[in-house]
Structure 1
Amino acid sequence: MPRKKPFSSKQKKFQLQDKRQRKKESTQDEDDTEDIETAGQDSSQSQKKLRKGKSGPIPDRRTDPNRYRLQFFKESNEEIDRRKKLARRPLRHLPEEALEVNIDQVYQPGSVLDLPKRPPWNYSLSKAKLEAREQNYFQDYTEAIFEKYSPEQLSYFELNLETWRQLWRVLEMSDILLLILDIRYPVLHMSPALYHTVTHDLGKSIIIILNKVDLAPPPLVIAWKNFLQEKYEKVHIVLFTSYPNEALAEGGNETKAKMRRKRGGGAWTRAMGQGQLLSVCQDIVGDKVDLRSWQDKMVSVSSTVKEEEEIADSSVVGGEDDDGLYKQGDTTLFQNGVLTIGCVGYPNVGKSSLLNGLVGKKVVSVSRTPGHTKHFQTIFLTRTVKLCDCPGLVFPSLIDKSLQILAGIYPIAQVREPYSPVGFLAERIDVVKQLCLKHPHYEGNKAQSQIEWSAYDICQAWAEKRGFITAKSGRPDLYRAANNLLRMGLDGRLCLCLRPLGYAENKGQWDQHPETLKLISDLEFYRVNDDVSDGEDESSDDELGHLVLEQDSDDDDEGGSEEEEEENKDESKYVSNNPFALLDSDDD
């Protein structure tokens, strides 16, 4: 007999998984088997056509490690080559009005670009029948979209049914929905279909969280707040940031502020907007839920420690196979006197950071990589308040793909053609002046205003300035430079902010708006208190009142690699201390 070939433990694991799967399928009922076979035949074609990503189609098996992975439509090589050619053309600087976006043109209400809703179900259905019904429905949903729109017209949107199932569960089990929006791209993250589903179909309250307000000018924050309030009458809007003015607290040093975020340092304890969110929730629930424990948690550090000791064994519950004991048709809210708050939104808008800011310490892992949260999980803030974190979901829309990449919806490390997003950014903000770039093919007899830049020129100039060189040929590494510029845009160091319609005409009005002045005062208050709390006088913590919670000693998992830290090591001298001002000096 020939000698057996050795194989790894990983292969042995896959063998056992396949064996269990075959055994499970053989014991199913005949009806269930027919439904699975029908759904499998239908879904296999749709997976090859619609869900084929970089690593091939995703299996539907529960044991698949990529079950919750983000799945987008794979672009053709012809489309990638076409965009590369366009990136070599000279850029044209656009006026501020080009940043104004109409939300109705992005989502087109009433069209097939709608929210996929969970098909009707009850407990008499078996698990196999329910999954087969959902697969058939989702297949029809995606096919209807691709029949009307071509992949070039559509933006990236989620094609993984498992991720949509997580949203359905959170919508069913939550009493109040928190829709988190990045203040830089609120039109991109605000789905009218989701608003209509929550307020009209489910009859629940929705709160819009304008997150990361420290990354946008205060007048623009207030303009977006008023615009969304007028367009969506049934929403409540709260301004929030997990890191209020971290850069200003560090004297304008962006790199130092970023490292401070990585090592913790009580960043979660200074989240701005907790009191406003509590007030809005109190107005919604009235006397149906006792929220005094939430108030006590914010006011007193000692009460926070006591509550955490009491719920230490049940602070994180739920998981990928937990339906939250939801019963279809049961519209009773605030069951057992507990308020359930669901956090939904696009990837990288700060859902997990918001939960950490509300709790006052790190309880949910966070990362700049989209899709870091795989399945929903529930966290008890107090005995009567339960938070539910949902994975990030990308809704179908007609937004530009370059804008989605800049917003961090698509993983930057997997972008095949990063030059178009760099050109999109450079046409709307003066990247050349902010980074003090010199044209790689500059001729001395031309004035600076007469030099034409392309996306490739900007990437080459940045590669030469930062020393990004390819290993083999010793040429400027344009891909690495473009990747680095996109990450700077994602972090807010190259700040691109969209505007509501008519903002440029009424800019002076928003500058003097009373809410703008109040927001500036609030951010200044956090800056002053951050400086005090970092001093040697520990007794000054009492002056912060409800703004100070318990500090966590664990490091903050931002998901950054050593290579990214090395690339960002000296970027502070290339970027302005104020993210909305331009550099005046040329420092190589």
Structure 2
Amino acid sequence: MPRRKPTATNALAARKKLKKAIKRGDVPAPEPKKQPGKGKHALPVSDAIQSARKLQSAFVKLPDAFLEQTKYLAATLPLTRPIAAQSHQFPPMERECIGDTTLSCPRRPKWRFEMSKTEVERNEEGVFRKWISQTDQAIEEWQKLAEIQEPLGEDEIPPEPTTMPRSTTYYERNIEVWRQLWRVTEISQIILVLLDSRAPLLHYPPSLREYLSDRRVILVLTKVDIAGAERADAWTRYLETKFPGVRIVQVESYMEKEMTSVHQGRKQREPKLPESFRHLLVQAIREEHAALLQPPEKVQANPARLASWKPPVKREIDWQRVVSAQDDKAGTFVGGPAVPHDDASEAEPKFLTIGLIGQPNVGKSSLLNALFGTSKVRASKTPGKTKHFQTLFWTPDVRLVDCPGLVCPNYVPMELQVLSGVLPISRISALPSCVYHAAELLPLEQIYRLSHPAEVDVPEEDKRTWRNGERPAASRPKELKWTAMDVLIAYADKKKWVTAKANRPDIHRAGNAIMRSLAEGRVAWAFWPPESDGSASDTPAEMGIWIPREEEGESDEESEEKEAESEEDEAEDALEPAQSPPVSDESDSESDALHVGSGRFGALQDSDDVDSSEPESDASS
């Protein structure tokens, strides 16, 4: 469905008149227009498009009742001002087990070489269906825990809700995306798990930790330039205490370019890893490689096994070449299907394989580009750009495997996932709830310099003088309380965004822009670790998780340009037709509950009715 355009009054009246005439039967109804690309005369679809369709992420669709309730509460619940003192800390994680079910990542079932491809895929799909059912049941029980209320009498009226209802949590439901993770973990000897330093615990859930429990893991804190050195160091100390024995490394994937006469006054950034971060990362990989060269304790205790034991990795690595990585072979792209296989009969593997794993938009592709100092793989602010796992040679001895980002199961609300950039903004229908959650953590009205919508109705200041205690209450200035809907309306008014026909503030576009700027880091924010008082920070407690920066005061032109770039990225994803994941043995009822991305040009659509809070991506699913 294309973007609706403003229509002249005469044309609109004529169209309504024709519609009534057709309804009465005075005029024959026009023949329905055939949509191109459908039916038996549809154009053939290329293998690349079919492959992209198979790897489209699939999430559960939010119920309409939840959307209506959250939209109403966003307009009625006042925001907590000043922001709660403890909001700067990462919220306490829910218990890892609800009832008898523990959230986990699906594991690939065992297979044999004599099995056919059909048999292997059938086993995988059977295990995956069972895992989906168990995970949905656990999440449903988790949601019910927040809905438990005291029983009411027969004549008692339920009280008005004072908080937003707990939303569901999103996780990847497409088996084809999980197969990418299975392949990467199978061929990798060392795993780099990338964590956004703004909320690291969100990106390292218990389900992922359990899945990688038998692997050599290095935790890499990304986006340190956004979170700041203080918070990144605090998170490093916290993670070292929580996960003893696991190496934690901080990285920055971009550096500022030198000012030129062409770009005077505007900061430009290029993919480049500072030398200090590069040495720390290579040193951590080198230590893990040395640990893999040592036989396990069980093997050391058995002399017969120790005599025939072979290390699972290549012994000799030119680490100096890894640090410099300036030769022509650095960054050579191999691609997923063309990954060279190690011969099991050889004395040792030909390469040291390092896998990069993490949730969407955590910075895997950006880190690869920073290691090579140039754009080798496609990186974007929009989550989910990487579809297939892809392999690049760091040096002739070391190869890196970039896994597509996938959302792991975790007991966290959907709003926190949206704020952290895990989910594409264009595919979120509960924007008022997300803005309410963000406004409880950040002073959005102060960040965006908004004026309360009710201020236009406030009468002029009463300059009359009154004796003490005799001033009428009606003439006293009232304190205006903000709601999430006030923030949306005020932002739309500031940008002069209105719907095409009703000429009302376009709150849907405003919600998209606000959440996109928060997720992409244009507004700096970061949590402190749990049980941290944040005393090392100069930011007042009432600022929440906001990190005020001087460069945040960008002009309207620069803000519009950045928002346009984000919309273009989402529009490129929308060009690929959305299809349900090709799991043939799923029931129809389950497939109806899924939506797999926005339709053609879905990110460019614009609602012209302020009462419609659902984005077009959900309407097309």
Task: Choose which of 33, 53, 57 in structure 2 pairs with 1:66.
Answer: 53
Deviation at 1:224, TM superposition (A): 0.7
Task: Choose which of 525, 529, 536 in structure 2 pairs with 1:496.
Answer: 525
Q: Deviations over 1:117-175 (max 9, x none)?
A: 11111211110000000000000001012223327664110000000010011111001
Alignment-derived partner of residue 194 in structure 2: 180
Quick check: 1:103–1:187 contact (8 Å CA) kept in 2?
no
What amino acid sits opposite 2:64 in the alignment?
N
Q: Does residue 413 of structure 1 match 2:413?
A: no
Distance 1:427 1:363, change over 3 A: same
Q: Which moved more, 1:470-479 or 1:371-380?
A: 470-479
Once residues 416 and 331 of structure 1 are traced to their aligned partners in structure 2, the CA distance between those partners, rounded to angstroms, is 53
Task: Choose which of 208, 218, 237 in structure 1 pairs with 2:248.
Answer: 237
Once residues 344 and 448 of structure 1 are traced to their aligned partners in structure 2, the CA distance between those partners, rounded to angstroms, is 55
Alignment-derived partner of residue 467 in structure 2: none
Q: Which has the higher helix share?
A: 1
Deviation at 1:181, TM superposition (A): 0.6
Task: Choose which of 329, 334, 346 in structure 2 pairs with 1:317.
Answer: 334
Alignment-derived partner of residue 275 in structure 1: 279
Distance 1:276 1:484, change over 3 A: same
Once residues 68 and 269 of structure 1 are traced to their aligned partners in structure 2, the CA distance between those partners, rounded to angstroms, is 30
Once residues 216 and 159 of structure 1 are traced to their aligned partners in structure 2, the CA distance between those partners, rounded to angstroms, is 31
Q: Does residue 256 of structure 1 match 2:266?
A: yes
1:208-247 map, 5 Å: 208-244=219-255, 246=256
Q: Does residue 77 of structure 1 match 2:77?
A: no
Q: Deviations over 1:558-582 (max 9, x none)?
A: 97346999xxxxxxxxxxxxxxxxx
Once residues 399 and 287 of structure 2 are traced to their aligned partners in structure 1, the CA distance between those partners, rounded to angstroms, is 17
Quick check: 2:55–2:176 contact (8 Å CA) kept in 1?
yes
Distance 1:271 1:68, change over 3 A: farther
Once residues 248 and 424 of structure 1 are traced to their aligned partners in structure 2, the CA distance between those partners, rounded to angstroms, is 38
Task: Choose which of 100, 123, 137 in structure 1 pairs with 2:89.
Answer: 100
Task: Choose which of 356, 361, 379 in structure 2 pairs with 1:343.
Answer: 356
Task: Choose which of 164, 181, 185 in structure 2 pairs with 1:171.
Answer: 185
Once residues 426 and 142 of structure 1 are traced to their aligned partners in structure 2, the CA distance between those partners, rounded to angstroms, is 33
Q: Deviations over 1:486-507 (max 9, x none)?
A: 1110122333322221111x63
Distance 1:68 1:562, change over 3 A: closer
Distance 1:331 1:69, change over 3 A: farther
Quick check: 1:175–1:334 contact (8 Å CA) kept in 2?
no
Alignment-derived partner of residue 368 in structure 1: 381
- The 3-state SS of whatever aligns with 2:106 is coil
Q: Deviations over 1:23-68 (max 9, x none)?
A: xxxxxxxxxxxxxxxxxxxxxxxxxxxxxxxxxxxxxx99464100
Distance 1:448 1:418, change over 3 A: farther
Deviation at 1:249, TM superposition (A): 8.4
Structure 1: give runs of 5+ residues left out of the alignment: 1-5, 21-60, 512-557, 566-588
Alignment-derived partner of residue 460 in structure 1: 489
1:3-152 map, 5 Å: 63=50, 65-88=52-75, 89-93=77-81, 94-101=83-90, 104-105=93-94, 107-108=96-97, 111-150=101-140
- The 3-state SS of whatever aligns with 2:137 is helix
Q: Deviations over 1:176-199 (max 9, x none)?
A: 100001111111101233233323
Alignment-derived partner of residue 3 in structure 2: none
Quick check: 1:431–1:494 contact (8 Å CA) kept in 2?
no
Q: Deviations over 1:293-333 (max 9, x none)?
A: x533644xxx72xx21x578xx11132x4676379xx7999
Deviation at 1:95, TM superposition (A): 2.0
Q: Deviations over 1:56-114 (max 9, x none)?
A: xxxxx994641000110011111111111111121114424134336641644984311
Once residues 254 and 146 of structure 1 are traced to their aligned partners in structure 2, the CA distance between those partners, rounded to angstroms, is 53
Once residues 237 and 165 of structure 1 are traced to their aligned partners in structure 2, the CA distance between those partners, rounded to angstroms, is 27
Once residues 222 and 326 of structure 1 are traced to their aligned partners in structure 2, the CA distance between those partners, rounded to angstroms, is 39
- The 3-state SS of whatever aligns with 1:343 is strand
- The 3-state SS of whatever aligns with 2:102 is coil
Alignment-derived partner of residue 400 in structure 2: 387
Once residues 85 and 346 of structure 2 are traced to their aligned partners in structure 1, the CA distance between those partners, rounded to angstroms, is 48
Once residues 94 and 226 of structure 2 are traced to their aligned partners in structure 1, the CA distance between those partners, rounded to angstroms, is 26
Distance 1:340 1:332, change over 3 A: farther
Distance 1:295 1:95, change over 3 A: farther
Alignment-derived partner of residue 444 in structure 2: 431
TM-score (norm. length: structure 1): 0.68
- The 3-state SS of whatever aligns with 1:493 is coil
Q: Percent identity, aligned pairs only?
A: 31
Distance 1:342 1:146, change over 3 A: same
Q: Deviations over 1:383-413 (max 9, x none)?
A: 0110000000101112111111111222111
Quick check: 2:180–2:388 contact (8 Å CA) kept in 1?
yes
What amino acid sits opposite 1:172 in the alignment?
E
What amino acid sits opposite 2:535 in the alignment?
K
Once residues 500 and 333 of structure 1 are traced to their aligned partners in structure 2, the CA distance between those partners, rounded to angstroms, is 45
Quick check: 1:178–1:209 contact (8 Å CA) kept in 2?
yes
Q: Which moved more, 1:172-181 or 1:393-402?
A: 393-402
Alignment-derived partner of residue 193 in structure 1: 207
1:507-526 map, 5 Å: 507-508=535-536
Once residues 142 and 232 of structure 1 are traced to their aligned partners in structure 2, the CA distance between those partners, rounded to angstroms, is 28
Q: Deviations over 1:206-240 (max 9, x none)?
A: 11110000111322111111111111123111100
Quick check: 1:167–1:391 contact (8 Å CA) kept in 2?
yes
What amino acid sits opposite 1:507 in the alignment?
S
Once residues 421 and 526 of structure 2 are traced to their aligned partners in structure 1, the CA distance between those partners, rounded to angstroms, is 14
Once residues 316 and 171 of structure 2 are traced to their aligned partners in structure 1, the CA distance between those partners, rounded to angstroms, is 39
1:475-490 map, 5 Å: 475-490=504-519
Once residues 208 and 434 of structure 2 are traced to their aligned partners in structure 1, the CA distance between those partners, rounded to angstroms, is 27
RMSD: 3.8
Q: Deviations over 1:323-351 (max 9, x none)?
A: 76379xx7999712x21110000000000
Alignment-derived partner of residue 45 in structure 1: none
Structure possessing the higher radius of gyration over alpha carbons: 2
Once residues 428 and 15 of structure 1 are traced to their aligned partners in structure 2, the CA distance between those partners, rounded to angstroms, is 49
Deviation at 1:14, TM superposition (A): 6.4
Distance 1:465 1:131, change over 3 A: same
Q: Which moved more, 1:127-136 or 1:417-426?
A: 417-426
TM-score (norm. length: structure 2): 0.65
What amino acid sits opposite 2:532 in the alignment?
Y
Structure 2: give runs of 5+ residues left out of the alignment: 1-33, 144-165, 294-313, 462-474, 539-563, 572-621
- The 3-state SS of whatever aligns with 1:209 is strand
What amino acid sits opposite 1:386 in the alignment?
R
